[in-house]
Amino acid sequence: MEPFFDISVITDNFTYFMIGRYPHGPLGGVGLTLYLAVVSCILSFFGGLILGLLSVSRFSVVRYPALAFINLVRGMPLLMVIFWMYFLMPALFGKVAENNTVIMALTLFTSAYMSRIVVAGIEGIPKGQTEAAISTGLKQWQVMLYIVLPQGLRNMIPSFVNQFVSLIKDTSLAFIVGVSELTHVATQINNRTMAFPTEIFIFIALVYFILCFAFTSLSRWLEGRLSWSKAN
């Protein structure tokens, strides 16, 4: 009788799971998953910051379009955003690599969620600070840049880390447009070997879990530390 769990399929393909065909071919597996998550996270940090600032602007000309965009994206499934990008980017920019299509989709999607974190962070700073800063003669944008944002951003760090965890999970959807990240690699190996779907999918679930749990724990630790230093 064959063993209940046959982990040889994991050990045989371990490097393929981790880095794909790299260095002899394109990066894949866990390496590509992290690459997609990190690049999209950095881009959507700035995207979220800009959208967040626009959506609390005093000028309705920029506030309403920003809010409309944020709500549009938040009302859509990520899969839909990926399909939109997959379909629109070539029409607008000509040939675009799948990796970049996915990064673009993840960035747009996550920026909308990040913008809410930014708004919450800005609103969490007491009004008195803004008033004090204005009365010392600073302009509105200077107040935001030098007084509110530096403090607000610090409070947002745990939420940003949580958003990064969501991003790691969301990169699995890149599978749908054929980007060879971890989930895609797993389905490839599954299609090739045929007999070990249970082992393969439990294994990649554990890999994602380890990645995400590490960052979730980091976020909790940061939350505790930041609130501690604030109390003192």
Partner 1 sequence: MLNYTFNWSIITSGQYFDWLVTGLLTTLKLSAVSIVLAFVLGLLIAVMRMGHNRPFRWFAHVYLEFFRNTPLLVQIFFWYFGSYKILPTFINDWLNETGFEFAAAAIALTIYTSAFIAEDIRSGVLSIPKEQMEAARSAGFSYLRSMQYIILPQAVRITIPPLVNQFLNVAKNSSLAMTIGVMEMTYQARQVESYTFRGFEAFTAATVVYLALSIIITALVNIYNEKVLNAHKAA
3-state SS class at 20:
strand
Rg (CA), the chain: 21
Residue 83 binds partner 1, judged by CB under 8 A: yes
Four-residue CA torsion sign, 179, 184, 189, 192: negative
- Residues 6 or more apart from 206 whose CB is under 8 A from it? none
Piece of 12-20, 129-137, 200-208, 219-227 that binds partner 1 (CB under 8 A) = 200-208
Work out which of 43, 78, 96, 222 binds partner 1, going by CB under 8 A. 78
What's the CA gap between 115 and 69, in Å, rounded?
A: 11
Q: Which is nearer to partner 1, 49 or 114 (CB)?
A: 114
Residue 172 binds partner 1, judged by CB under 8 A: yes
Nearest to 98 by CA among 180, 41, 37, 23: 180
Query: Nearest 5 degrees, angle CA 143-CA 162-CA 173?
Result: 120
User: What spatial distance separates the first Cα and last Cα of the chain, rounded to whole Å?
Assistant: 64
Q: Which is nearer to partner 1, 25 or 90 (CB)?
A: 90
Q: Which is nearer to partner 1, 35 or 201 (CB)?
A: 201
Piece of 9-17, 69-77, 100-108, 126-134 that binds partner 1 (CB under 8 A) = 69-77
The one-letter amino acid code at 29 reads: G
Work out which of 169, 177, 218, 226 binds partner 1, going by CB under 8 A. 169
Residue 22 binds partner 1, judged by CB under 8 A: no
The one-letter amino acid code at 20 reads: G
Piece of 21-29, 45-53, 58-66, 190-198 that binds partner 1 (CB under 8 A) = 190-198
Q: Which is nearer to partner 1, 194 or 232 (CB)?
A: 194
Work out which of 80, 97, 132, 145 binds partner 1, going by CB under 8 A. 80
3-state SS class at 80:
helix
Query: Nearest 5 degrees, angle CA 170-CA 39-CA 153?
Result: 90
Q: Which is nearer to partner 1, 144 or 166 (CB)?
A: 166
Positions touching partner 1 (CB under 8 A) are: 4, 72, 74-80, 83-84, 87, 91-92, 165, 168-170, 172-173, 175-176, 183, 186-187, 190, 197-202, 204-205, 208-209, 212-213, 216
